[in-house]
Amino acid sequence: MCGIVGYVGSDENNTMEVLLDGLSGLEYRGYDSAGVALADNSIDVHKKEGELSALESALPDTTATAQKESVGIGHTRWSTHGPPSDVNAHPHTDADRRVAVVHNGIIENYQTLRDELVDAGVEFRSDTDTEVVPHLIGTYLDAGIDREAAFRRAIDRLEGSYAIAAVFEGSETIYAARKDSPLVLGIGEEGHYLASDVPAFIEYTDRVIYLDDGEFARLTPEDVIVTDSTGTVVETSIETIQWDAEDAGKSGYDHYMLKEIHEQPKALRQCLRGRLDELNGQVELEELGDLSRTGPVQFVACGTSYHAALYGATLLRERGVSAQAFLASEYDAEAIPVGADSMVVGVTQSGETADTMRALREANRAGATTIAVTNVVGSSAARECDYALYIRAGPEIGVAATKTFASQQTALTLLACALTDQGSRNLVRQLRAVPDQIQTVLDTSRAREIAEVYEDADAYFFIGRGYHRPVALEGALKMKEITYKHAEGFASGELKHGPLALVTENTPVFAMVTGDSEQASKTIGNVKEVEARDAPVVAVTDGQSNVGRYADHVLEVPAGDEITSSIVANVQLQLVSYWVANRLGRSIDKPRNLAKSVTVE
């Protein structure tokens, strides 16, 4: 969840500037402190609690403009061990400041290592688990072991998850290693980079190497060497990122989230490109090759991706397939029947979500066929699963997922059609129409007006049936994430089984009702229950039912298939949450306490 950046290169580049640019590119991941370490004849560390601007303000003028150091590492911290503070911020050093270390992950045996080091006379300055690493390295340096060997020995002692980078005094080298936490290397013309994610260095290079678990990297101004745990050189492939720094910018929008909401038509066109055969009413997913399904399908995911997984499981059950969606943190392959005939689908935007990766690894060990539905080419999920289905949403910087959720819904619709061979000309035509329908919503939405009316609500309820239920849950999650207001999502029929006790005249209920089916009629019945208790109702509807007559406000969506209408309806809920948060002055792109890529369990 923390962000790591590193650079080693020629004196033509200002190392501090590269590191600060990199940390700025990782702010979206969520953090509460930041720091940098420059290595020359000595280790120069600067770190500060708070936002990156606090660190920049604390830098001496001479440091901010210095160019003599050609190697450095930086870090944004999301607290796990110890509260946010200057002393707990990374990088951490050994007692003699010979080595500085940054770390993403959790060292599970840190207390044992810390006790061992304290008994040997080491004094700790922070509460973090990370600080054991530089002190371990320091003990090996004291024993006369060279830098790389000392780094490797320290890594060998660690249990848990980590992406770790270290620099040493008197050395123009970065040493790095990873296990269950992302780390990507950037190959540049005037130097080399490493980071937790590509946006940290995309303005400098688009050529990358993804480290695998158990691999080590040595970066110098001249080359990048990747080795395994024994020191044997590993053959690596350099991949080219298909987007640039401009794609990851705000493009004139006030917030990344608003930009990404408005990018959804483009994102879905990218998701659908080359995958629809309208003439024959078929879905063609070349990524899945000759994949065939024989047994049940299990989805594993977290947060927004879990809501997409619920949608995917509903799609498959409607097609006669036994399908369930599990919260990845609750998934236990020993307790849940999973075997060689099972298919386990991990839905993860980043492809690095720790809980989802653990669940997928359990499924792999159980012999199941695994599929990663992800946004990131070369991510851990994409590499470790048998198949990868990319959602093609492009970079998403806002912590609250928007375009990736719509792209996940769309990709899972394609997957359900492919697994069951149950496409149709009508569904394919409706999928093709979704980007234009979303654009219509973006052009005509009254969400901003409704946000003005209900910004002071005590709580917000979201209800829907069938394909709309996951969207109701997602609508509530968005409201919670970026407004810090209480919100809940329910299957419409469950409102009367308890939650109705919480409904008041200051609790707006957002009801999704599209089409004129029996499900729509039942949800209208639930709307009447709310209306009878004087709670305001906002109907998200295509107008095919008469729900509008019972609603205080209406958010319109174009008429479409019951499957695809939930993708479109969700956009109205995203806009409502955004405008409520905007009026409340919230930190929309970086909500408090949250991180974009959750790489710890």
Catalytic residues: 2, 596
DSSP state of 233: B
Q: Which residues pair with 300 in a beta bridge?
A: 326, 346
Q: Is the separation of the CB atoms in 591 and 481 below 8 Å?
A: yes
Question: What does R_g of the chain's alpha carbons equal in angstroms?
Answer: 25
* Rounded Cα distance, 475 and 86, in Å: 36
The SS3 assignment for 195 reads strand
Phi/psi at 166 (5° precision): -140, 145
* Rounded Cα distance, 102 and 78, in Å: 12
Interior CA angle at 310 toward 437 and 476, to 5°? 70
The SS3 assignment for 418 reads helix
* Rounded Cα distance, 37 and 23, in Å: 12
What interhelical angle do 562-584 and 403-420 show, nearest 10?
170
* Rounded Cα distance, 418 and 427, in Å: 13
Q: Is the separation of the CB atoms in 227 and 192 below 8 Å?
A: no
* Rounded Cα distance, 509 and 576, in Å: 12
The SS3 assignment for 170 reads coil
What interhelical angle do 132-142 and 147-156 show, nearest 10?
130
Nearest Cα residue to 163 out of 220, 96, 93, 210: 210
Query: Count of residues for the chain?
Result: 601
* Phi and psi based region of residue 320 (left: phi greater than 0; alpha: psi -120 to 50; beta: remaining): left
* Rounded Cα distance, 477 and 469, in Å: 13
- Residue at 16: amino acid letter: M
Q: Which residues pair with 499 in a beta bridge?
A: none
In order of 235, 437, 454, 595, the CA distances from 210 in angstroms are 12, 37, 46, 21
Question: Which pair of structure tokens corresponds to residue 513?
Answer: 């009702």
Buried b (16+ CB within 10 A) or exposed e, 231-262: eeeeebeeeebeeeeeebeeeeeebbbbbbbb
Q: Is the dihedral of CA 316, 318, 322, 327 positive or negative?
A: positive
Q: Is the separation of the CB atoms in 570 and 405 below 8 Å?
A: yes
Bridge-based pairing of strands 33-39 and 43-49 is antiparallel
